[in-house]
Structure 1
Amino acid sequence: MVEDVTGSLAPRCVASTPSPEVDPAGAQSSSDSSETIKSPYFSSAEWTPDGTTLLTNSSDHRIRSFIVPPDLLETGSVHNLSPYSALPSAEPTYALAAYPFFNLQDPSTTLFLSSVRDHPIRLASALAPVSVASYSLVNPTTEAFITPHSMIYPSTLGGTHFLTGSDSLICLFDVSRPGSDGPVSWLPTIPSKRKQTVGGGIGMKGIVSAMAISPTGDGILAAGTFTRQVGLYSSNGSDWRKGVTQLAWSPCGRYLYIAERKSDGVLVYDIRVTGQMLGYLRGRRAVTNQRMKIDVISAATDSSHEVWAGGTDGYMRGWKNPVYAAGGQDPDWEFKVHDDAVTSIAFHSTGSVVATSCGQRHYLEHDNDSDSKEKGTFKDKQPRENSLKIWFLPS
């Protein structure tokens, strides 16, 4: 049973960016019905490891940092969120990864990686729009840049190395070796991209779009592709499963959650014991090509955990104890948090504060009025909101 939004768990908005107002009269005129609105929207948001800052990626090719007010929960008013810094790019950003020892009190640690199309990987500061270092990932045959679609710092390596996922390839980089040297290790996810019979055809072919390290410290890496495959890597070998646009481990490291594009739910796999699909968290409302990030958090009162996800209808939904029952499971809670697609759900380490971002590309269409058609004016199909918000969720 989904809890009503008026219940004790109803979230309270404590901070927000101003949402731009739409003036239909100011829309660009065009004879092309596929003309898109140029107003930028948030495509993702994530907390830095120290919980002080939010890093966002937007459709205007800018990575912004938002430092959270220290009195976030002490006042009853809604704080205004404004970017502290914005790093522009000439091309879209495909992946972000914050330095695992990010500490706002130590500016030398406030770093993050970003992957930009047709450019080297950048290591930049979250406090100033400058690049600190760059790392080249180049195809040795064509000398063209390879664009990572996912990046992660392995927790077992202490922040000295990072992993990238690209087309049928996972690479390991040494942070202390920037420049044109490239990765220290190349791991193709399939023996041959051109001939499937090579190596028995075992492997996963496609862009590695998501990666997650098991939280138990054993170093198991889950990697997923846009072609709906997931590989589990360890020092002893690999395993292959179906699924993917995002991967998330349960806190115990036994269960793997798989989110896919154009999917109404989240797949649940029991990795450690049966290796089988355990259940399906339905009702997510994410039937879209856009990436819609989920989050997994530990419960505040016991050893269980919860899964939270956003939907295209502006709701965020939560599933309590998702591994205690097999089969399809409906959400236990749902709350209206935005007037547009919720692109990210990012819980603070405290578990009671959650950041949400929203927005998507909207298309314009001709007004039904014949006079307007002759003038070539356009209008929005539906209202839109492009905002980043922080909520307090009572326990």
Structure 2
Amino acid sequence: MEEEQQQQQNPDTEVVGEATEQSQQEYTWPPIRFDVPPHRTYHFHNQFKTSSVPNNFLKGIKWSPDGSCFLTSSDDNTLRVFTLPENGSSHEFNANEQDSYAADLVVSEGESVHDFCWYPYMSASDPVSCVFATTAHDHPIHLWDATTGLLRCTYRAYDAVDEITAAISVAFNPAGTKIFAGYNKSVRVFDIHRPGRDFKRYSTLQGNKEGQTGIISALAFSPTQTGMLATGSYSQTSAIYNEDNMELLYILHGQEGGITHDPYILCWDVRKAVEVVYKLYRSSEYTNQRILFDIEPYGRHLGTGGQDGLVHIYDLQTGQWISGFHAAADTVNGFSFHPYLPMAASSSGHQRFEASDDGNGDLHLTGDENCTSVWSFSYASMDNDDDGVNASDSNSQPEHENLHQDP
């Protein structure tokens, strides 16, 4: 295979080593004033336009663990790395302006990208750690070098007839030693030091038919290093497993749709894991598209997009909606908080089938569609009359006050 030859010829094909004992520098994430709308610090839309894919919508966005850059995925099977400028920007970008700057790296996959994730100990100061994993339709899991764009490693799973089967979701464990991947009614675990076809397969459906059916489309590890893995499936269930042996701990019910596009984000107390504590609404009833959300580093607030073009912020202690702001003119499918700065990034776009009014088949999109933006928030210590923040009426919409629903 071509990718195997690339691996053999590439001197940097070594797998990422064990995480060093010296942890990354600790930062104190500043308390954000979510009652003040953020301003758009950087904006990108032109470089996502391609002649071969006129409606090249974004599919997700994720900050790197060290906060030096962010990674986007788009419908042209391409991933782009954008480095955050060191000097910052005081200019507030209009959505129809030229792109703030060009992507530092562009990586093309062979088919549609299902999922992607950063190596958890990624640091720009350590090139060996600068990698991210992707999974694409009919392809194995790829580990890419985020500085050179070269393919580092490939992790293959095979089905019953010995054909490559693609993962739908992918995640590194907190230690950075394994890659967990979601498939139909199963999770496969790869040792990052052993690329190839070596893996352990764990069925999510137990012998007594207890467990999860359907495709495992979302994976998330506990950030407190408790060894718990949460999985979500298209069968409208979530589950929690022991990371070490994939022992099933809880099955969680209550979803109205697939885990990645349910109109409600559900919260459970893992000490009980019986009843839903509360539901957080997001506008995603009429799409099969993945809508990604994120929780800020303090663990107090959650941000999520939706089909309404807004980013909604919720208080996780109370489950109440506290603010929202207009991020795009189409579906906001990705939202990611910066790991230590009062910033966030959003991605937008959705599948479009309609032709233009002039009948030539061209799509005339604004700069607020199929776009990525970086947002800067005000600190809690700032004065209320901060002139550096652009005011917006998206925080004063009364209908959002009732977005929280008790189950």
TM-score by length of 1: 0.78
1:243 is displaced (CA, Å) by 5.5
Quote the residue 1:15 is aligned against. 42
Partner Cα separation in structure 1 for residue 39 and residue 108 of structure 2: 32
Which of 33, 55, 58 lines up with 2:71 in the alignment?
55
Which of 318, 323, 328 lines up with 1:324 in the alignment?
318
Quote the residue 1:186 is aligned against. 201
Corresponding position: 1:313 with 2:301: no
Report the CA distance shift for 1:80/1:244 in structure 2 as closer, same or farther (over 3 A): farther
1:275 is displaced (CA, Å) by 2.9
Which of 335, 347, 350 lines up with 1:345 in the alignment?
335
- Indicate if the aligned counterparts of 1:224 and 1:231 stay in contact, CA closer than 8 A: yes
- Indicate if the aligned counterparts of 2:256 and 2:262 stay in contact, CA closer than 8 A: no
Structure 1 gaps of 5+ residues are: 1-5, 23-27, 29-35, 192-198, 247-257
Deviations 1:210-263 (A, max 9, x none): 0111122111111111111111112564221125699xxxxxxxxxxx955251
Report the CA distance shift for 1:37/1:105 in structure 2 as closer, same or farther (over 3 A): closer
Quote the residue 2:132 is aligned against. 112
1:129 is displaced (CA, Å) by 2.4
Partner Cα separation in structure 1 for residue 181 and residue 333 of structure 2: 22
Structure 2 gaps of 5+ residues are: 1-32, 94-98, 380-407
1:313 is displaced (CA, Å) by 1.8
Partner Cα separation in structure 1 for residue 48 and residue 170 of structure 2: 34
- 1:226-305 equivalence runs, <5 A: 226-234=234-242, 237-242=248-253, 260-263=260-263, 265-273=264-272, 275-282=274-281, 284-287=282-285, 288-299=287-298, 305=300
Quote the residue 2:144 is aligned against. 124
Q: In structure 2, give the amino acid aligned to 1:166.
A: Y
Partner Cα separation in structure 2 for residue 269 and residue 47 of structure 1: 26
Quote the residue 2:28 is aligned against. none
Partner Cα separation in structure 2 for residue 212 and residue 357 of structure 1: 20
- 1:201-212 equivalence runs, <5 A: 201-212=209-220
Partner Cα separation in structure 1 for residue 267 and residue 103 of structure 2: 36
Q: In structure 2, give the amino acid aligned to 1:146.
A: T
- SS at 2:65 equivalent: coil
Quote the residue 1:83 is aligned against. 103
Q: How many residues align?
A: 337
Partner Cα separation in structure 2 for residue 351 and residue 332 of structure 1: 20
Q: Could you say which structure has the higher strand fraction? A: 1
Partner Cα separation in structure 1 for residue 202 and residue 40 of structure 2: 44
Partner Cα separation in structure 1 for residue 251 and residue 120 of structure 2: 28
Partner Cα separation in structure 2 for residue 37 and residue 86 of structure 1: 16
1:16 is displaced (CA, Å) by 1.1
Partner Cα separation in structure 1 for residue 181 and residue 256 of structure 2: 15
Partner Cα separation in structure 2 for residue 315 and residue 364 of structure 1: 23
Partner Cα separation in structure 2 for residue 274 and residue 89 of structure 1: 38
- SS at 2:329 equivalent: coil
TM-score by length of 2: 0.76
Identity of aligned residues (%): 24
1:311 is displaced (CA, Å) by 1.8
Alignment RMSD, CA only? Answer: 2.9
Quote the residue 2:170 is aligned against. 151
Quote the residue 2:371 is aligned against. 387
Moved more, 358-367 or 207-216: 358-367
1:133 is displaced (CA, Å) by 1.1
Moved more, 61-70 or 304-313: 304-313
